[in-house]
Amino acid sequence: MAFEVAQPTPDGPPTLGTGGLQNWILDNVIPLFLLLVALLILWLGGAKGDNAGVMRRLGGVVVALALIGLALSGAGVNIGTWLTDLIVH
């Protein structure tokens, strides 16, 4: 586990940032949350034999993962521009 330490800048005092915390959350919290959601879905649906219900919920999880990936990659602006160009042109 690595933490960012404030480094002095040539112009003055050290600068602080949240890059270390953000990277830690992306590397640890999100995968753990996804694992817990997957186990919960399998436990709730699989225990009752409701395979169709598990697959329905899995579809929702896939959509959520796509939205998280879109938000983390920063590609949302490019996709929005592309969609706008489809409508305007």
pTM: 0.49
Q: Does residue 4 lie in a domain region?
A: no
Number of domains in the chain: 1
- Domain that includes residue 50, residue range: 20-88
Q: Does residue 44 lie in a domain region?
A: yes
Q: Does residue 79 lie in a domain region?
A: yes
Q: What is the DSSP string of 23-72?
A: HHIIIIIHHHHHHHHHHHHHHHHHHHT-HHHHHHHHHHHHHHHHHHHHHH
Q: Does residue 10 lie in a domain region?
A: no
Q: How confident is the model at residue 85 (pLDDT cuts 50, 70, 90)?
A: very high
Measured between alpha carbons, how far is 53 from 59 in angstroms, rounded to an integer? 10
Structure tokens at 88: 């305007």
- Report which of residues 10 and 63 the model is more confident about: 63
Q: Collapsing DSSP states into helix, strand and coil, what is residue 80?
A: helix
Measured between alpha carbons, how far is 16 from 3 in angstroms, rounded to an integer? 12
pLDDT tens, residue by residue, 4-61: 555 656 676 666 667 777 788 778 887 888 888 878 877 877 777 777 877 887 888 8
Q: Does residue 3 lie in a domain region?
A: no
Q: Does residue 53 lie in a domain region?
A: yes
Q: Does residue 1 lie in a domain region?
A: no
- Report which of residues 65 and 8 the model is more confident about: 65
